[in-house]
Amino acid sequence: MLEVQDLTVEIRSGRSIVRPIEHISFALDANETLGLVGESGCGKSTTLRAIIGLLPRGGRIVGGRILLDGRDLVKERRAELQRVRGRSVAMVFQDPMSALNPLMRVGEQIAEGPRAVLGYSRGHAREWVADLMRRVGIPDPERRVNAYPYELSGGLRQRIMIAIALSSKPKILLCDEPTTGLDVTIQDQILKLLVKLQDEEGLSIIYVTHDLAVIAQLARRLAVMYAGRIVEVGSVRDVFAAPSHPYTLALLRCAPRADRARTGLTPIGGTPPDMMAPPSGCRFHPRCPLAVDECASGDFPLVTVGSAHATACIRWEECAQYAHKGLVMVRE
């Protein structure tokens, strides 16, 4: 239902031009959750903002298409995009404290979309808000409706954010690390809530995070991003079982796992690339233990390595072997 094809975004500030995402392609099916994984600054959030048509200042889409039910959002006018926001695609933000208006009662904030976008009457909106608050698991909604954001805990605020996102009945929910600021028990509750809501409302979700454990819990499919490009896509099962890009493997190695408590964690050497001057060739090659001379130049399109599993690495077979043997990768 949502298809991103060859999307490239450019951000100009002053004389410098940065391309936070380049030639990104992925598809999101109805009622599916797609995980978008990568380090900070790899272009995950920019991808979401491009879809919703709200790039940061100086940013614009310079190539590619964003097809929503066959309609190309890149070509749509601003007024059309505003109609898409809220009622087709909605977003849940990372920090609900700063994403909620501090001076507005939460009930009003939830009601605003339905009133303005769906044209609900005051009474109808009030019922809808109570219904939404109940559905996102806010206890005692009659009382909380009149609360200000600062009066609520982080978990409740995030539930309010989700209620706002759902308020205009979107089909697609874009989640930008909505559980990052919460402690693990609350995080777990929010994830369970998202799964429940997806079942009930038939939502499609794109979930951006750097936390593979969250992806494992929530998504069937994931796309791994590095320095503005997608380096691997596939089902969560395939990618976790046979990571076919050294970056994916490295990410898995530095995520804690109960069954590997003894081997410890392996951090990824080096630092993420400077997007002002990204490395040539495969952007991961300066940090890659499997890198060979070929990696330093040329293009690395995704190649299919299994059913619906693709990677941008030319040495994916070696990579999968490493993963299989459980060897610790050491830079050669």
Partner 1 sequence: MTQAVRASAPTLGEETRAIAVRPWYRIPTLVIGLGLAVAIAGLALLAPVLTPYNPTMQNLNQILLPPSSAHLLGTDQLGKDVWAELLYGARVDLQIAFIAMLLPLVLGTTFGLLSGYFGGVVDAVVMRAVEVIVAFPVYVLIIAFVFVLGPGATSIYIAITLVSWVSYARISRGEMLVAKTQEYVLAARSAGLSNVRIIGRHILPNTVTQSIVFATSDVVLNLLMIVTLGYLGLGIPPPSPDWGRMIYQGQSFLTTNWQLSTIPGVAVVIVGLALSLIGDGLADLLRRE
CB of 118 vs partner 1, minimal distance in Å:
10
What angle, 0 to 180 degrees and rounded to 10, lies between the N-to-C axes of helices 154-166 and 122-135?
130
How far is Cα 51 from Cα 171, in angstroms, rounded to an integer? 14
Tokens representing 327 are: 């060897």
**Would you give the binding string for partner 1 spanning residues 57-86, x where CB under 8 A is met?**
-------------------------xxxxx
- Chain residues 149-178 in contact with partner 1, contact rule CB under 8 A: 150-156, 159, 161, 164-165, 167-168
Cβ(324)–Cβ(238) under 8 Å? no
Q: How many Cα atoms are found within 13 Å in the side-chain-facing hemisphere of 213?
A: 11
The CA distance from 136 to 35, in Å, is: 21
Say if CB 38 and CB 226 are below 8 A apart: yes
Confirm or reject binding of residue 104 to partner 1 (CB under 8 A). yes
- Least separation in angstroms between CB 224 and partner 1: 25
Supply the minimum distance, in Å, between the C-beta of residue 192 and partner 1: 5
Binding residues among 177-196 for partner 1 as defined by CB under 8 A? 183, 185-186, 189-190, 192-193, 196
Stretch that binds partner 1, among 25-33, 101-109, 225-233, 259-267 (CB under 8 A): 101-109
Is 130 among the residues that bind partner 1 (CB under 8 A)?
no
DSSP, residue by residue, 115-176: IIII---HHHHHHHHHHHHHHTT-SSHHHHTT--GGGS-HHHHHHHHHHHHHTT--SEEEEE
Task: Please report whether residue 235 would count as binding partner 1 according to CB under 8 A.
Answer: no
User: Residues interacting with partner 1, by CB under 8 A?
Assistant: 52, 54, 82-87, 90-91, 93, 95, 98-104, 112-113, 116-117, 137-139, 144, 147, 150-156, 159, 161, 164-165, 167-168, 183, 185-186, 189-190, 192-193, 196
